[in-house]
Amino acid sequence: MRRERLDTLLLLLPATLFLLVWFIAPLSRFLSLAFTDQAGPLSTFTTLLSSDVYLHVLVNTLILSALVTVITLILAWPVAYVLTRLKGIYFSLTLYGVLFPLWISVLVRTFSWMLLLERAGPVNRLLLDLGVIRQPLALLFNQTGEIIGMVHVLLPYAILPLYSAMKRIDSRLLLASDGLGAGLFDTFRRVYLPLCLPGLFGGGTFVLLLSLGFFITPALLGGADSMTLSMLISSFVTDRLAWSLAAAGSLLLLAIVLALLALTMRLLPMEKGMFAK
Amino acid sequence: MSQMAGLPTPWRWSATISANLVVAFLVLPILAVIPTSFNQASFISLPPTAWSWRWYVSFFADPEWRASLWVSLQVAALATVAAIALGLPAALGLQRAAPGLRPVLTGLFLAPMIVPVIVSAVSIYRTALDVGLNGTRIGMALSHAALALPFVIINIGVSLRNVDQRWLQAASGLGATPWTVFRTVTLPNILPGLVGGGVFAFVTSFDEVVIAVFMAGYGAKTLPVKIWESIRLEFTPVVAVAATFMILLAAVAFVLARAIEAGRKKAKNTKEDKMDLGVAA
Amino acid sequence: MTARMTGTDNSGLSLRFAGVSKSYGRAVALHPTDLEIEAGEFLTLLGPSGSGKTTLLNLIAGYLAPDAGRLLIGDRDVTNLPARQRNIGMVFQNYALFPHMTVAENVAYGLMVRRRPKTEINSRVAAALALVELGGYGDRAIQQLSGGQQQRVALARALVIEPDVLLMDEPLGALDRQLRRNVQLELRRLHEERRRTTLYVTHDQEEALILSDRVAVMRAGRIEQLGPVADLYNNPINSFVASFIGESNLLPARLIARHEASVQVEVAALRQTLTLPLPAVSSASQSADVPLLLLVRPEHLLLDESGPLTVRVEEVVYLGELTALRLRLESGADLWLRRLTDRKITRGMDLRVNWQAAHLRLLPQT
């Protein structure tokens, strides 16, 4: 059956070659530029990490991503829960409501928030009309707008894994806990919540990873002082042609992403073992 | 909603209300774009001060907007063909690969999904500069193909898992060559995954912004690139027109994907919780 | 494609397996095995899961490549030929019918692949469907069919190409008992009619008994015994075969003396010393250091008021026409006895039992 082995290799060859040539090679080439700056192999990193401005960007990116992740998870939870309970047309409609935004470009979704959040926009006008505020809020070109936009884009990525995990929770476990005399809060705290954890963890990590690399939304909705790492990388390339700095920044970003991924993969199987059905 | 059971009423109501609010939060803002495109005046206002088609006319009258739409369609078509041409054999090969090799291959094939898109964009841009492919539709299509490839492979892979190995054995035992087995047994059964993957690849390319912004140059400005530039330079409702077209395309593709999924479910009678994150969406 | 394809030779070809073995890493699926099946014979591979019977079948079909040995179909060495060139017909355990094709398209597949003309395909498919009593079902989708009907489509699909050898891998496993019995008789009838060389795999000994000319009992990658069904029943070679074919009581026996034409054994459970003629001693028990077992089948025990064994009835199991009695011997061991039901024996009764001496066998323990 050596013919089979050959066939398999031939099947895998085109995609492998293509990705090696048009993705892996460019990636390695670019990242290696981080070490080829005139000032020395590690100079780019020292530049980045010793500069207040750049450090601020790094810290800002991390804080922003963490904040967005937490808010997204909180908002995702009721939707995921409701999805596990719905049937028929209600289920489909709700699910489509979550899935459809994923098919629309980040640009368009962000743009729609620009329309809604500006000073004279509908949100401010509604709040003014309702008497909630006296003056239009500055919701755009600052961290508030950034967060709103990012949460909006990332919500489906949190809802779906969470729903998936919740769906797998055997409702009989909850009935058992109830039957054993546990109150609602206890059942929630001791049975439901721990069983949701893998989903929360998975969804949360996913959202966190995505938000670290976000470019469009912070660029359009964020303010002058809320630059993210990806915006910085872009700026290095387009504004200053500082390829080596861009590469160093990219390496940092990639390192954080991969570290998070490794951490998740380490922890998640263990989680599965703890709550394995 | 009487379909919900398990929680006492106050909790149930607050869960339902919050869920409704969140879903509204997800869907409605996107729709904000559409009325904006019908604004009579030259500034953006929502809701429109007066309703008019003029910006739609403007869009099609402007050679640059027209060209960007055309470029987007071409690039997306090219990227889709490439992604399928590469992804189909890859998915087939992945299934047959030795267990030791599979994680490595999966890592490679999924890499474009894992690497932050800004990093991918800048690295590909750099190489494109070196070989002179920046600002070309081919370069753009290839880059989008790389981005779409993981989704195509995953989608087809899911379909492949429903192909029983024994059908293939039976077919070959009955005298069919490997190519005939593929053509008569495998292919008909992975068609939903194939077409679904193709639709998703097309939309991915059409929607894509970050790579496009870097790779566009002067010769390959896609619609998102033109929108990106316009938002930062001149801000008239024609941008909303372009955005509305993008929403329209996404809606058509979404309906198509649902139809394929429904067809697949009917054929296989699966349960509702067949979710692969957002990929098989 | 040779003339063989058009099916001038209805009985199929002989099959020879010479020294074929298959391992996966360190796990041996099949030890080097020789097997010869005559043209037109129905041979069953019988054994528990993991015995290697499916591996052997797949090696013949060509879905697995052997590590060593040769395989011949008729006079053709097919060892290195891929499955599609071996002209075998295979019926899978779960039928493996193509879900996106109709019944007729499924059955026609092998002919279509061989590029037979349309008219020929249509007539041969119709004939095959009639053969399995599914005439007129051609246009149905296979999902509309019951398990039994699907099984017959699978059979028709395998037969229509007039294969040299028909292979069947536990095809009746998914059917309920009554249906299974009917199909077994159907298969028997079909085989009597056409006498196509058939290799059948099952773990159900009753099925093996009903269908086969010869049976090969397999265990752990080896053929333990091969022979006509009656031989395996009457003269099993060891305790594994004895317990796999028919019911058995196996009692530890100690060899006391060996004479020219007989042996003497002490059977502790019966508290008896028995003399057995040499033909009753399985050849495999000849070596002295293997623990021995006395085989006495439940149907060869009888109630006899002057019998040497005193027993108490522990359990009465009503099996319809037969009743199985679990009897407790004075030594504490249990014996099963089978007799025609007469409803006179109840739990707790004390009885006397005798055995049919001609049916006793001495076997090595395996």
B chain contacts of residue C87, beta-carbon cutoff 8 Å:
175
**Using CA atoms, how far apart are residues A153 and C75, in angstroms rounded to an integer?**
69
Judged by CB atoms closer than 8 Å, whether chains meet at B149 and A120 is answered as: no
Instruction: Give the orientation angle of helix B9-31 with respect to helix A88-99, to 10 degrees.
Output: 50
C366 touches chain B (CB under 8 A): no
What would the CATH number be for the domain defined by C3-234?
A: 3.40.50.300
What's the sign of the alpha-carbon dihedral A163, A166, A170, A171?
negative
CA dihedral in degrees (A160, A165, A167, A173; nearest 10)? -160
The order of strands in the sheet holding C88-91 is C88-91, C165-169, C198-202, C42-46, C214-219, C222-228
Mutate to test the interface with B, among A7, A11, A17, A103 (most CBs of B within 10 A): A103
Q: Which amino acid is at B278?
A: G
Give C325's strand partners. C316, C337
B60 touches chain A (CB under 8 A): no
Asked whether the beta carbons of C164 and C5 are under 8 A apart, the reply is no
Judged by CB atoms closer than 8 Å, whether chains meet at B273 and A111 is answered as: no
Residue C227: pLDDT above 90? yes
**Using CA atoms, how far apart are residues C112 and C130, in angstroms rounded to an integer?**
19
* Neighboring chains of A (3 or more beta-carbon pairs < 8 A): B
**Using CA atoms, how far apart are residues B29 and A121, in angstroms rounded to an integer?**
12
**Using CA atoms, how far apart are residues B57 and B71, in angstroms rounded to an integer?**
19
Displacement of CA B205 from its chain's centroid (Å)? 7
Map out the domains of chain C as residue ranges.
3-234, 239-364
pLDDT of residue C155: 92
Range of the domain at A265: 47-274
Cβ count near A32 (within 10 Å): 12
Name the band, by pLDDT with cuts 50, 70 and 90, for residue A268: low
Which is nearest to C74 in space by CA: C20, C22, C31, C11?
C11
Name every residue whose Cβ is closer than 8 Å to that of residue A106 and which is 6 or more positions away in sequence: A153, A216, A217, B207, B209
Asked whether the beta carbons of A215 and B210 are under 8 A apart, the reply is yes
Mutate to test the interface with C, among B163, B174, B190 (most CBs of C within 10 A): B174
Return the residue of B nearest to C143 by Cα: B267
Judged by CB atoms closer than 8 Å, whether chains meet at C84 and B189 is answered as: no
Residue B183 DSSP label: I
C chain contacts of residue B169, beta-carbon cutoff 8 Å:
61, 63, 83, 90, 92, 96
Does residue A39 lie in a domain region?
no
Judged by CB atoms closer than 8 Å, whether chains meet at C109 and B177 is answered as: no
Asked whether the beta carbons of B74 and B82 are under 8 A apart, the reply is no
C chain contacts of residue B180, beta-carbon cutoff 8 Å:
113
Asked whether the beta carbons of C229 and C202 are under 8 A apart, the reply is no
| SS3 at position C93 | coil
CA dihedral in degrees (C47, C52, C55, C56; nearest 10)? -80
* CATH assignment of C239-364, among 3.90.550.10, 2.40.50.140, 3.40.50.1820, 3.40.50.720: 2.40.50.140
Per-residue pLDDT tens digits for A71-129: 999 999 889 988 888 888 888 888 999 999 999 999 999 999 988 888 878 888 888 88
Per-residue pLDDT tens digits for A168-220: 877 777 777 777 777 777 777 777 778 888 788 888 988 999 999 889 999 99
**Using CA atoms, how far apart are residues B142 and B211, in angstroms rounded to an integer?**
11
Q: Which amino acid is at B254?
A: F
Per-residue pLDDT tens digits for A115-146: 888 887 888 888 888 887 777 778 888 888 89
Query: What does the block give as tokens for B109?
Result: 């094939």
Judged by CB atoms closer than 8 Å, whether chains meet at B122 and A234 is answered as: yes
**Using CA atoms, how far apart are residues C21 and A30, in angstroms rounded to an integer?**
53
Name every residue whose Cβ is closer than 8 Å to that of residue A226 and which is 6 or more positions away in sequence: A60, A64, A142, A143, A146, A218
Name every residue whose Cβ is closer than 8 Å to that of residue C210 and which is 6 or more positions away in sequence: C184, C185, C188
Surface-to-core class of residue C85, CB atoms within 10 Å of its CB (0-12 exposed, 13-18 middle, 19+ buried): middle
Which is nearest to B102 in space by CA: B173, B162, B61, B157?
B157
| SS3 at position C207 | helix
Name the band, by pLDDT with cuts 50, 70 and 90, for residue A50: confident
> What's the mean pLDDT in A233-238?
92
Asked which of C42-56, C284-298, C350-364 is least confident by mean pLDDT, the reply is C284-298
Domain tally, chain A: 1
Which is nearest to A210 in space by CA: A263, A273, A157, A269?
A157
Asked which of A145-149, B37-41, C337-341 is least confident by mean pLDDT, the reply is B37-41
Mutate to test the interface with B, among A61, A87, A94, A112 (most CBs of B within 10 A): A112
Residue A271: pLDDT above 60? no
| SS3 at position C12 | coil
| SS3 at position B275 | coil
Q: What are phi and psi of A152, to 5 degrees?
A: -60, -45
Look-up: residue for tokens 């017959």?
Answer: C152
Q: How far is C83 from chain B (nearest CA, A)?
A: 5
Does residue A32 lie in a domain region?
no
Whole-angstrom CA distances from C287 to A250, B125, C281, C282, C361 are 76, 80, 11, 11, 16
Give C165's strand partners. C88
Judged by CB atoms closer than 8 Å, whether chains meet at A26 and B126 is answered as: yes
Which is nearest to C12 in space by CA: C156, C128, C163, C159?
C163
**Using CA atoms, how far apart are residues A48 and B59, in angstroms rounded to an integer?**
43
b/e A68-91 (16+ beta carbons within 10 angstroms → b): bbebbbebbbbbbbbbbbbeeeeb
What's the sign of the alpha-carbon dihedral B201, B205, B208, B212?
positive
C347 touches chain B (CB under 8 A): no
Residue B269 DSSP label: -
**Using CA atoms, how far apart are residues B88 and C190, in angstroms rounded to an integer?**
44
Name every residue whose Cβ is closer than 8 Å to that of residue A1 and which is 6 or more positions away in sequence: C65
Domains of chain B, each with CATH number or no CATH? 58-268 (1.10.3720.10)
| B&C contacts, CB < 8 Å | 60
Q: What are phi and psi of B111, to 5 degrees?
A: -50, -45
B160: alpha, beta or left? (left if phi > 0; alpha if psi -120 to 50)? alpha
Q: Which amino acid is at B246?
A: M
Does residue A177 lie in a domain region?
yes
pLDDT of residue B270: 37
Per-residue pLDDT tens digits for C103-113: 999 999 999 99
Mean pLDDT over each residue of chain A, to the nearest integer:
85
> What's the mean pLDDT in C14-40?
90
pLDDT of residue B274: 32
Q: How far is B82 from chain C (nearest CA, A)?
A: 28
Return the residue of C nearest to B187 by Cα: C100
Q: Which amino acid is at B10?
A: P
pLDDT of residue B269: 55
Asked whether the beta carbons of C162 and C124 are under 8 A apart, the reply is no
pLDDT of residue A272: 43
> What's the mean pLDDT in A248-256?
92
Cβ count near C75 (within 10 Å): 8
Per-residue pLDDT tens digits for B75-123: 999 999 999 999 999 999 999 888 888 999 999 999 998 899 999 999 9
Asked whether the beta carbons of A203 and A73 are under 8 A apart, the reply is yes
Per-residue pLDDT tens digits for C232-257: 998 898 889 998 888 889 999 888 88
Task: Mark which residues 163-182 of B lie under 8 Å from C by CB.
Answer: 164, 166-167, 169-177, 180
**Using CA atoms, how far apart are residues C36 and B251, in angstroms rounded to an integer?**
65
Asked whether the beta carbons of A144 and A217 are under 8 A apart, the reply is no
User: Within 13 Å and on the Cβ side, how many CA atoms surround A146?
Assistant: 26
pLDDT in tens, chain B (281 residues): 333 345 666 777 888 888 888 888 888 888 888 888 888 877 777 777 788 888 899 899 999 999 999 999 999 999 999 999 999 999 999 998 888 889 999 999 999 988 999 999 999 999 999 998 988 999 999 999 999 999 999 999 999 998 999 999 999 999 999 999 999 999 999 999 999 999 999 999 999 999 999 999 888 999 999 999 998 887 788 899 999 999 999 999 999 999 988 887 776 653 333 333 333 43
Q: Which residue has the higher pLDDT, A189 or C35?
A: C35
The shortest CB-CB distance from B109 to any of A19, A76, A122 is to A19
Q: How far is B176 from chain C (nearest CA, A)?
A: 6
b/e C219-251 (16+ beta carbons within 10 angstroms → b): bbbbbbbbbebeebbebbbbbbbbbbbbebbbb
Which is nearest to B78 in space by CA: B148, B126, B133?
B148
Q: How far is A138 from chain B (nearest CA, A)?
A: 17
In chain C, DSSP assigns E strands to 15-24, 27-37, 42-46, 68-73, 76-77, 88-91, 165-169, 198-202, 214-219, 222-228, 249-258, 262-267, 272-277, 292-296, 301-303, 309-318, 322-329, 334-340, 350-355, 361-364
Asked whether the beta carbons of C192 and C181 are under 8 A apart, the reply is no
Asked whether the beta carbons of C292 and C254 are under 8 A apart, the reply is yes
Q: How far is B248 from chain A (nearest CA, A)?
A: 9
Judged by CB atoms closer than 8 Å, whether chains meet at B174 and C109 is answered as: yes
B chain contacts of residue A167, beta-carbon cutoff 8 Å:
273, 275
Asked whether the beta carbons of B237 and B39 are under 8 A apart, the reply is yes
Return the residue of A nearest to B3 by Cα: A86
Judged by CB atoms closer than 8 Å, whether chains meet at C109 and B172 is answered as: no
Q: How far is B72 from chain A (nearest CA, A)?
A: 13
CATH code, domain carrying A80: 1.10.3720.10
Residue A142 DSSP label: S
Query: What does the block give as tokens for B190?
Result: 């992975």
The shortest CB-CB distance from B90 to any of A12, A90, A215 is to A12
Share of chain C above pLDDT 70, in %: 96
Q: What are phi and psi of B133, to 5 degrees?
A: -100, 5
